[in-house]
Amino acid sequence: MVDPEHSHEHPYPAADLAARYPFVTLETRRLPDDEMLDRARTFHQAMGARRSVRMFSSRPVPGELIEEAVLAASTAPSGAHKQPWTFVAVQDPELKSRIRREAEAEERSNYLENRMNNEWLEALAPLGTDHHKEFLEVAPWIVVLFEQRYELRPDGSRRKNYYVKESVGIAAGLFIAAIHDMGLATLTHTPTPMAFLRRLLGRPENERPFVMFPIGHPLPGLQVPDLRRKSLSEVFVEVDRRGDGSTVR
Ligand SMILES: Cc1cc2nc3c(=O)[nH]c(=O)nc-3n(C[C@H](O)[C@H](O)[C@H](O)COP(=O)(O)O)c2cc1C
């Protein structure tokens, strides 16, 4: 009898595809449901302890840890497997100061010169963020994640990238998770507009700053906003076959 779990009308890869391109067998594992539930809860709890940090210790962080986080981030799925991202790491104090100066200049316009509307400022009020970005000098590392809007080949020609923002957003999420998982802290920081970062960091024309991450040990005893995260029912709907948004459970 054919095992329905293993029989497919359209096996992947089809024979002619496998003849043209290399394929390998993926190592898979099958865990019992209760073990998966344990792992899922442990992961949720670990991620639940992550917070955006705006007060860092100046304690040094080995560059190898940053490299490992970038490697983890770079495992992200990406449109047509283009991996359209560059992580640029800075620990030089002089360069960090320049980044701070320019970020504060942009944020001064945002916060103090009406570049943010009232609704935005109200949403930010409980976080207490302002134009001071001291953490950009205190944190031992700043990593700027650039999106590659297109691929720039060594001969100067361009190749299209696909779903760039989605891909880079997923890589950013994995990067944040990796940093948190190793016991470090970061802030997802977007001192908009961020064009100055391309100039300061000498990046090519196809790259655009996506987000920057000051990274380090959190300052012992630091405070964070007492935020509530949405409950499952606020972010999750299971739709039945009527497709009218009604919850099944
Ligand atoms: C795309 C994005 C941009 C953000 N930009 C800033 C920023 O420029 N400055 C800042 O202090 N926090 C910034 N944040 C952090 C958010 O304020 C923070 O994630 C949110 O308040 C939830 O807190 P948590 O990260 O501790 O859970 C940003 C977050 C995201 C996802």
Instruction: For 101-121, write each residue's pLDDT tens digit.
Output: 999 999 999 999 988 999 999
The pLDDT of residue 243 = 65
Given this model, what pLDDT does residue 1 score? Answer: 58
Q: Which atom of ligand 1 is nearest to the CA of 192?
A: 8
Domain annotation covers residue 171: yes
Instruction: With respect to residue 40, please indicate whether it lies within any of the assigned structural domains.
Output: no
The pLDDT value given to residue 245? 59
Assess whether the C-beta atom of 98 lies below 6 angstroms from ligand 1. Answer: no
Asked if residue 121 is part of any domain, the answer here is: no
pLDDT > 90 in the chain, percent: 90
Ligand 1 centre from 51 Cα, in Å?
A: 9
**Model-level pTM?**
0.95
Tell me if 164 is assigned to some domain: yes
Query: Is 213 inside a domain boundary?
Result: yes
> Would you say residue 223 lies in a domain?
no
CATH number of the domain residue 212 falls in: 3.40.109.10
At 249 the pLDDT is 55
Give me the residues of the chain with pLDDT under 50, please.
none
The pLDDT value given to residue 4: 65
Q: Is residue 116 one of the residues assigned to a domain?
A: no
Q: What pLDDT, on the 0 to 100 scale, is given for residue 247?
A: 57
Nearest to 215 by CA among 193, 192, 243, 189: 189
Ligand 1 atom with the smallest distance to the CA of 107 is 8
| Number of domains the chain is built from | 1
- Per-residue pLDDT at 86: 98
Ligand 1, from 134, 189, 211: best to mutate by most atoms within 8 Å of Cβ?
189
| Residue 56 pLDDT | 98
pLDDT the model gives residue 70: 99
Task: Kindly state whether residue 146 falls inside one of the protein's structural domains.
Answer: yes
Residues of the domain holding 138: 55-102+131-218
Three-class HEC string of 171-226: HHHHHHHHHHHCCCEECCECCCCCHHHHHHCCCCCCEEEEEEEEEECECCCCCCCC
Sign of torsion over alpha carbons 62, 63, 64, 65: positive
Tell me, what's the pLDDT at 5? 75
Determine if ligand 1 sits within 6 Å of the CB of residue 51. yes
Q: Is the CB of 192 under 6 A from ligand 1?
A: no
CA of 127 to the centre of ligand 1 (A): 9
